[in-house]
């Protein structure tokens, strides 16, 4: 090992290999092969002291994945029922995606947006064809895509001579952790300590058209920003006419309708974008997560009143829309639309019915909310400890909003795997309920 890699880390610190490409005399021993050899013999040390602890990381490291399964350094397998938090919609290491990554990396990784990028243009066309939108700006993440949307709204208002352009956002929303998206997010926990937040946002209850309509006399309003399904907020699903009602209000008041489909897009709800199921075309649509199936990429799509707001010099990104990311995302989009999305609605409905039956005798479970393969199991009390218990049982879940078990399984999950998910999780929650009764 010592001959194959240089070592980073000070004396006494956990030391990881840094492979020096191009210096291996044996051409058959690629950097990947050396890394795999290292992982096979690697013992997980204490958490690295060199990482800023922005995450309370669980004590497990995954070294490979396939479909809905992840494998740790001891080759124990875990069902990933959150898809890397809504990212790996095609499952882990989808063969078409990994093949595209390898082929494009050998050809060209990056140029810059000063030049035409064919893969970027092809991906933009595909997304516009799927969504009914007109143009796309590519970023590296969902937060960046939402930043672009907020800038579009402000520039749109500025050109209407509005001195304080204001965006309507929803209680329980989550739009990111940059300063603008954090300011737009209605979550006191993630905002704490970061004041002063940016002005220009007004909050109303989610799924309340009357509350939005009541703002019609506010001449500073320029846009409404909303998630078609609130993900981080606990899988909250609005009434069927909610998005159409917002579209009508925005049209009546000359506001932009901006939909955050970072989590609900890319097939997650059973339509490529959730707004398609509501027959609504927004002025701005943002997406990320499942767009790259693990490769960092986001997109801000525009149409209608937002088309033409941005011009040269108004916005930019050094890495956004790079050849590697766009080639990968185009493969993801094509794989999703080929045969995957058609089964999402039925899979989600089956899971909801199965969980409803499994918890029919458990008052602790008060509601099961579902749209496509976005599921929220609402408990009547905080349940964060379920995350660790599930992991110990080989199941990866997430608890959000304190008391909601959030499930975002890969869209490629099959019937046997869905049954395993229901059996494992229902047993864990029943055991948790029994312990709570005794306590």
Backbone angles phi, psi at 43, to 5 degrees: -105, 125
159 is in an annotated binding site: no
Radius of gyration of the chain, Cα coordinates, nearest whole angstrom: 23
Give 3: exposed, middle or buried? Use CB within 10 Å, 0-12, 13-18, 19+: exposed
Q: 309's torsion region: left (phi>0), alpha (psi -120 to 50) or beta?
A: alpha
State yes or no: is 174 an active-site residue.
yes
260 is in an annotated binding site: yes
The pTM of the whole model exceeds 0.85 = yes
State yes or no: is 260 an active-site residue.
yes
**Residue 189: what pLDDT?**
87
122 is in an annotated binding site: no
Under DSSP, is residue 271 helix (H, G, I), strand (E, B) or coil?
Answer: coil
Q: What tens-digit pLDDT sequence spans the chain (439 residues)? A: 333 333 333 334 334 443 333 333 344 455 556 555 655 565 556 778 899 999 989 999 999 999 999 999 999 999 999 999 999 999 999 999 999 999 999 999 999 999 999 999 999 999 999 999 999 999 999 999 999 999 999 999 999 999 999 999 999 999 999 999 999 998 888 999 999 999 999 999 999 999 999 999 999 999 999 999 999 999 999 999 999 999 999 999 999 999 999 999 999 999 999 999 999 999 999 999 999 999 999 999 999 999 999 999 999 999 999 999 999 999 999 999 878 999 999 999 999 999 999 999 999 999 999 999 999 999 999 999 999 999 999 999 999 999 999 999 999 999 999 999 999 999 999 999 999 987 6
Pick from 273, 410, 307, 429: nearest CA to 360: 429
433 is in an annotated binding site: no
- Its sign, for the CA torsion 103, 108, 110, 115, is negative
Catalytic residue selected from 137, 138, 174, 273: 174
**Residue 437: what pLDDT?**
84
Backbone angles phi, psi at 277, to 5 degrees: -70, -20
Segments of the chain assigned to CATH 3.90.1150.10: 339-438
Enumerate long-range contacts of 422-426, CB under 8 Å, 24 or more apart. Answer: 422/351, 422/354, 422/355, 422/358, 424/79, 424/390, 424/393, 424/394, 424/395, 425/81, 425/355, 425/377, 425/390, 425/395, 425/397, 426/355, 426/358, 426/359
**Residue 178: what pLDDT?**
97
CB 373 within 8 A of CB 343: no
Catalytic residue selected from 289, 295, 347, 432: 289
263 is in an annotated binding site: yes
177 is in an annotated binding site: yes
State yes or no: is 240 an active-site residue.
no
262 is in an annotated binding site: yes
143 is in an annotated binding site: yes
pLDDT tens for each residue of 88-147: 999 999 999 999 999 999 999 999 999 999 999 999 999 999 999 999 999 999 999 999
Architecture of domain 339-438: Alpha-Beta Complex (3.90)
Q: 148's torsion region: left (phi>0), alpha (psi -120 to 50) or beta?
A: alpha
CB 383 within 8 A of CB 432: yes
180 is in an annotated binding site: no
pLDDT tens for each residue of 250-285: 999 999 999 999 999 999 999 999 999 999 999 999
Catalytic residue selected from 260, 283, 295, 310: 260
The fold of 97-335 is 3.40.640
Segments of the chain assigned to CATH 3.40.640.10: 97-335
**Residue 15: what pLDDT?**
40
């Amino acid at each position: 090992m010592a001959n194959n890699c240089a070592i980073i880390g000070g004396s006494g610190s956990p030391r990881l290999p840094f492979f020096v490409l191009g210096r291996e005399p044996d051409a058959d021993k690629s950097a990947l092969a050396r890394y795999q050899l290292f992982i096979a013999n690697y013992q997980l040390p204490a958490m690295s002291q060199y990482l800023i602890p922005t995450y309370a990381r669980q004590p497990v490291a995954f070294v490979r994945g396939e479909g809905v399964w992840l494998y740790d350094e001891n080759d124990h397998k875990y069902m990933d029922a959150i898809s890397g938090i809504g990212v790996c919609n095609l499952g882990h290491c989808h063969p078409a995606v990994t093949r595209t990554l390898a082929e494009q990396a050998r050809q060209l990784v990056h140029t810059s947006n000063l030049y035409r990028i064919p893969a970027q243009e092809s991906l933009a066309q595909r997304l516009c064809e799927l969504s009914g939108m007109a143009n796309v700006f590519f970023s590296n993440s969902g937060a960046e895509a939402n930043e672009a949307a907020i800038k579009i709204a402000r520039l749109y208002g500025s050109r209407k001579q509005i001195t304080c352009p204001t965006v309507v956002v929803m209680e329980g929303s989550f739009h990111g952790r940059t300063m603008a998206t954090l300011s737009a997010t209605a979550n006191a926990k993630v905002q704490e300590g970061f004041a002063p937040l940016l002005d220009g946002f007004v909050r109303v209850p989610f799924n309340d058209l009357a509350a939005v309509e009541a703002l019609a006399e506010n001449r500073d309003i320029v846009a409404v920003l909303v998630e078609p399904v609130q993900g981080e907020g606990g899988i909250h699903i609005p009434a069927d006419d909610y998005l159409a009602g917002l579209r009508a209000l925005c049209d009546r008041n000359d506001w932009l309708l901006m939909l955050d489909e970072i989590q609900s897009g890319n097939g997650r709800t059973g339509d490529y974008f959730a707004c398609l199921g509501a027959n609504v075309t927004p002025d701005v649509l943002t997406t990320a997560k499942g767009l790259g199936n693990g490769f960092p990429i986001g997109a801000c799509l525009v149409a209608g009143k937002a088309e033409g707001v941005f011009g040269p010099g108004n916005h930019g990104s050094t890495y956004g829309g790079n050849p590697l990311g766009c080639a990968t995302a185009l493969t993801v989009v094509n794989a999703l639309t080929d045969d995957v999305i058609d089964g999402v609605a039925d899979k989600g409905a089956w899971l909801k019915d199965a969980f409803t039956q499994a918890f029919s005798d458990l008052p602790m479970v008060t509601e099961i909310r579902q749209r496509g393969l976005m599921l929220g199991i609402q408990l009547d009390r905080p349940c964060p400890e379920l995350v660790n218990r599930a992991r110990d049982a080989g199941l990866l879940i997430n608890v959000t909003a304190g008391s909601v078990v959030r499930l975002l399984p890969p869209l490629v999950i099959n019937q046997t795997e869905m049954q395993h998910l229901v059996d494992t999780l229902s047993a864990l929650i029943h055991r948790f309920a029994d312990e709570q009764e005794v306590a």
